[in-house]
Amino acid sequence: MDINQIKNKFKTLFGDNYSVYASPGRINLIGEHTDYNGGFVFPGAIDKSVVACIHLNGTNTVRAYSIDKENLREFRIDQEDLEGEQHWSKYIFGVCREIQKRGYTIGGFDTVFAGDVPIGAGMSSSAALESTYAFALNDLFHLGIDKFELARIGQMTEHNYVGVKCGIMDQFASLFGKKGHLMRLNCATMEFEYFPFDPKGYKLVLLDTIVKHELASSAYNKRRESCENACAHIAKRHPEVKYLSDASMAMLEEVKNEIPEEDYMRAKYVIGEKQRVLDVCDALGKGDYATVGERMYGTHYGMSKEYEVSCDELDFLNDLAKQCGVTGSRVMGGGFGGCTINLVKEGLYDKFIATAKEQFSKKFGYEPKVYDVVISDGARRID
Ligand code: GLA
């Protein structure tokens, strides 16, 4: 991404005084749809970010310009809502509101931003945007909010201003990311650990189907409701179960006939996924990539057949990876389109990518996009 383009646009619109902030998108090795179920996730920040120039303007108006959308939007800092459906400015507006709801005082600012996190690809471009502004405003107004709370500010922006009842993984990864490291986060306690990630002899690569599901946010919220329903039924018999991830398969079996078949399948996936994350952490410690890969395929199966958040294009790429002998492959992120994440032996990489491009375009008429994963640092001030 060309930071000079952002700086030049800022100068043209607002003048020479500004600070620069950035916050990245993320990958997730394993642990999908577990965050809002109090389970484990295993993400890392990537080398694709949102970058913003910001200057406090001493008024109570925010003037924000999106380079990618070529669009300027203004709102007052004390405004309670923003008109317009899913406008990009809702993310910045929501962050301002959520900071103020927590009792902090902020004022107006001028800003220009751009991003190279592909939108709708499952790499959390929206969390990158939220985290950029949560981090920047906290710094510029000297609010002293810790990074966990900044992550919640981003998450609640999604809940209250975008309409996605997401978990905490994406904002957490964007804020806490560390070069060369994945993070295993326990979403029930928010305890986390950095794991150095340097799989010798392997590459992590994303294949983007470029499919975007229009109803993804309502389907996502529906999955969450199913999990909460299954959990509530289990908790009636086992009060120690606070989140679905606390439950065992045996507990789920006890309530099988009390809940809709669909909720049962969703819960089965989530409980299985918890063990897969732990297995992967264990296997990584031993350099056992065969097990890491097997669990990734297990997650894909569960997301496709039990959680039902895959699509033909993703399943096709997953099958193809298996046929090519790729060590591990699965749909990444919320699903309903976006990318597969693939753990590929270096020697197989070129052949796999060439085959995937060829076979995918034969079937769907266009090539998937390819992104090599580079695990990078989280939110930061740049200048
Ligand atoms: C989206 C959400 C996350 C998480 C993933 C699925 O990225 O924003 O909170 O639930 O889907 O793991």
The per-residue pLDDT for range 73-117, each reduced to its tens digit, is 999 999 988 877 678 999 999 999 999 999 999 999 999 999 999
DSSP 154-197: HHHHIIIII-----SHHHHHHHH-BTTEEEEEETTTTEEEEEE-
- Judged against a pLDDT cut of 90, whether residue 27 lies above it is answered with yes
Task: Of 56, 76, 51, give the one whose Cα is nearest residue 66.
Answer: 51
Given ligand 1 and candidates 170, 220, 221, which is best to mutate, with the most ligand atoms within 8 Å of its CB?
A: 170
Give the single-character DSSP code of 144.
-
pLDDT given for residue 371 in this prediction: 97
Given ligand 1 and candidates 33, 185, 212, which is best to mutate, with the most ligand atoms within 8 Å of its CB?
A: 33
For the purposes of burial, counting CB atoms within 10 Å of the CB of 228, is it exposed (0-12), middle (13-18) or buried (19 or more)? middle
Given ligand 1 and candidates 28, 35, 130, which is best to mutate, with the most ligand atoms within 8 Å of its CB?
A: 35
3-state SS, one letter per residue, for 18-74 = CEEEEEEEEEECCCCCCHHHCCEECEEEEEEEEEEEEEECCCCEEEEEECCCCEEEE
Nearest CA to ligand 1 atom 2: 166
Chain segment 139-193, per-residue pLDDT in tens: 999 999 999 999 999 999 999 999 999 999 999 999 999 999 999 999 999 999 9
- Judged against a pLDDT cut of 80, whether residue 215 lies above it is answered with no
Atom from ligand 1 closest to the CA of residue 126: 8
Residue 127 binned pLDDT confidence (cut-offs 50, 70, 90) = very high
Chain segment 221-279, per-residue pLDDT in tens: 999 999 999 999 999 999 999 999 999 999 999 999 999 999 999 999 999 999 999 99
pLDDT given for residue 85 in this prediction: 64
Expressed in angstroms and rounded, the spacing between residue 58 Cα and the centre of ligand 1 is 36
Query: What token pair was written down for 290?
Result: 């065969």
- Judged against a pLDDT cut of 90, whether residue 301 lies above it is answered with yes
Angle between helices 169-176 and 147-157 (to 10 degrees): 140
Nearest CA to ligand 1 atom 11: 334
Expressed in angstroms and rounded, the spacing between residue 14 Cα and the centre of ligand 1 is 35
Expressed in angstroms and rounded, the spacing between residue 21 Cα and the centre of ligand 1 is 24
Given ligand 1 and candidates 117, 166, 217, 330, which is best to mutate, with the most ligand atoms within 8 Å of its CB?
A: 166
Instruction: Please tell me the pTM assigned to this model.
Output: 0.97
Expressed in angstroms and rounded, the spacing between residue 325 Cα and the centre of ligand 1 is 28
For the segment 20-48, the average pLDDT, to the nearest whole number, is 98
Ligand 1 pocket (Cβ < 6 Å) reads: 32-33, 35-36, 124, 166-167, 169-170, 333-334
Expressed in angstroms and rounded, the spacing between residue 32 Cα and the centre of ligand 1 is 7
Expressed in angstroms and rounded, the spacing between residue 15 Cα and the centre of ligand 1 is 38
Nearest CA to ligand 1 atom 5: 334
Task: Of 119, 138, 109, 135, give the one whose Cα is nearest residue 17.
Answer: 109
Expressed in angstroms and rounded, the spacing between residue 200 Cα and the centre of ligand 1 is 28
Expressed in angstroms and rounded, the spacing between residue 299 Cα and the centre of ligand 1 is 14
Chain segment 315-349, per-residue pLDDT in tens: 999 999 999 999 999 999 999 999 999 999 999 99
Nearest CA to ligand 1 atom 8: 166
Helix (H) or strand (E) holding 345: strand 339-345
Pairing of strands 19-28, 43-56: antiparallel
Domains and CATH numbers, the chain: 3-197+376-381 (3.30.230.10), 202-372 (3.30.70.890)
Nearest CA to ligand 1 atom 9: 167
For 70, residues 6+ apart whose C-beta sits below 8 A from its C-beta are none
Q: Which residues are catalytic?
A: 170
For the segment 300-313, the average pLDDT, to the nearest whole number, is 98
